[in-house]
Chain A
Amino acid sequence: MARFPRPWSKKRGKRFIGTELRSLLWETAFYSGVFLVGVFVLSLVLINELASWEHLEAFKELTQIQTDAVTPPELNGGGLASWVFGILGIAAIGSGAGGLIYRLVRVGASSERRSALATRASSIEIIVPASGDIDKMPSVPRGDSLTDSPGERLTYRLAAENPGGGELLGPMLLALLWNAVWFVLLAVVVLGFWYGSPRYILTGLLIPFGAIGYWSFRFFLAQLRRTAGIGPTIVEISDHPLYPGCKYRLFVSQSGRLRFRRLNVRVACEEETVYRQGTDVRVERYEVFTEELCAARDVRVDPQGPWEQQFTLDLPSNVMHSFVGAHNAVRWKVIVSGEARPWPSFCRSFPVVVHPPGLPPKRSPR
Chain B
Amino acid sequence: MSVSLCREDGVYEGGRELKATWRVSRVTLDALSAIEISVLWYTEGKGDMDLHVHYFQRLEEEQIRRSGLADQQSLTCLLPATPLSYHGRLIRLRWCVRMRLFLNSGREIVTDQPFHLVAPKSIQPGKSHRVNAISLGFQPPRKRPDAGNDSAG
Q: Does B77 contact A (CB under 8 A)?
A: no
Q: Which residues of A contact B46 (CB under 8 A)?
A: 273, 275, 284
Which single member of B51, B84, B88 contacts A115 (CB below 8 Å)? B51
Check A119/B52 contact, CB under 8 A, given A320-B134, A323-B83, A359-B120. Answer: yes
Considering only residues 197-255 of chain A, those with a C-beta below 8 Å from chain B are: 244
Which single member of B45, B52, B119 contacts A138 (CB below 8 Å)? B52
- Is the beta-carbon distance between B88 and A356 smaller than 8 angstroms? no
Q: How far does the Cβ of A278 sit from chain B's closest Cβ, in whole Å?
A: 13
- Is the beta-carbon distance between A320 and B47 smaller than 8 angstroms? no
Residue of B at shortest CB range from A112?
B38
- Residue from the set B43, B119, B120, B133 with the largest chain A CB neighbour count within 10 Å: B119
- Is the beta-carbon distance between B90 and A320 smaller than 8 angstroms? no
Q: Which residues of B contact A135 (CB under 8 A)?
A: 80
- Is the beta-carbon distance between B82 and A323 smaller than 8 angstroms? yes
Q: Which residues of A contact B91 (CB under 8 A)?
A: 271, 273, 328, 330
Q: Does B136 contact A (CB under 8 A)?
A: yes
Check A327/B90 contact, CB under 8 A, given A140-B82, A320-B135. Answer: no
Q: Does B14 contact A (CB under 8 A)?
A: yes
Q: Does B53 contact A (CB under 8 A)?
A: yes
Residue of B at shortest CB range from A111?
B51
Q: Does B30 contact A (CB under 8 A)?
A: no
- Is the beta-carbon distance between B153 and A113 smaller than 8 angstroms? no
Considering only residues 52-102 of chain B, those with a C-beta below 8 Å from chain A are: 52-53, 56, 58, 80-84, 86, 88-91, 93, 98, 100
Q: Which residues of B contact A289 (CB under 8 A)?
A: 136
Q: Which residues of A contact B8 (CB under 8 A)?
A: none
Taken together as a complex, chains A and B put the C-alpha atoms of A275 and B44 apart, in Å, by 12
Check A110/B50 contact, CB under 8 A, given A273-B90, A320-B84. Answer: no
Residue of B at shortest CB range from A243?
B119
Taken together as a complex, chains A and B put the C-alpha atoms of A44 and B30 apart, in Å, by 53
Interface residues on chain B, number (Cβ under 8 Å): 42
Binding site of B, secondary structure by majority: helix, strand, loop or mixed?
loop
Residue of A at shortest CB range from B50?
A325
Q: Mark A99-132, 1 if CB is under 8 A from B, else 0.
A: 0000000000011110110010000000000000
Q: Which residues of A contact B108 (CB under 8 A)?
A: 110
Residue of A at shortest CB range from B136?
A288
Q: Does A286 contact B (CB under 8 A)?
A: yes
Q: Which residues of B contact A20 (CB under 8 A)?
A: 151, 153
Q: Does A19 contact B (CB under 8 A)?
A: yes
Which single member of A116, A137, A273 contacts B82 (CB below 8 Å)? A137
Check A244/B51 contact, CB under 8 A, given A286-B89, A330-B86, A357-B119. Answer: no
Taken together as a complex, chains A and B put the C-alpha atoms of A19 and B151 apart, in Å, by 10
Beyond the given A112-B53, A115-B52, A115-B56, please list 20 additional residue pairs across the A-B interface where CB-CB is below 8 A. Answer: A21-B153, A110-B100, A112-B40, A113-B36, A115-B40, A119-B53, A137-B81, A140-B82, A271-B90, A271-B91, A274-B47, A286-B89, A288-B88, A321-B83, A323-B86, A327-B48, A328-B43, A328-B45, A357-B120, A358-B122
29 residue pairs of the A-B complex, CB under 8 angstroms, read A20-B151, A110-B108, A111-B51, A112-B38, A112-B40, A113-B36, A113-B56, A115-B53, A136-B81, A137-B80, A137-B81, A137-B82, A139-B82, A140-B82, A244-B134, A271-B89, A273-B47, A273-B48, A286-B88, A286-B90, A288-B88, A320-B86, A323-B86, A327-B47, A327-B49, A328-B91, A330-B86, A358-B13, A359-B81
Chain A residues proximal to chain B, CB less than 8 Å: 19-21, 110-113, 115-116, 119, 135-140, 244, 271-276, 284, 286, 288-289, 318-321, 323, 325-328, 330, 356-359
Chain B residues proximal to chain A, CB less than 8 Å: 13-14, 36, 38, 40, 43, 45-53, 56, 58, 80-84, 86, 88-91, 93, 98, 100, 108, 119-122, 132-136, 151, 153
| 10 interchain residue pairs of minimum CB distance | A273-B47, A325-B50, A116-B56, A358-B120, A21-B153, A327-B48, A358-B121, A115-B53, A112-B38, A271-B90
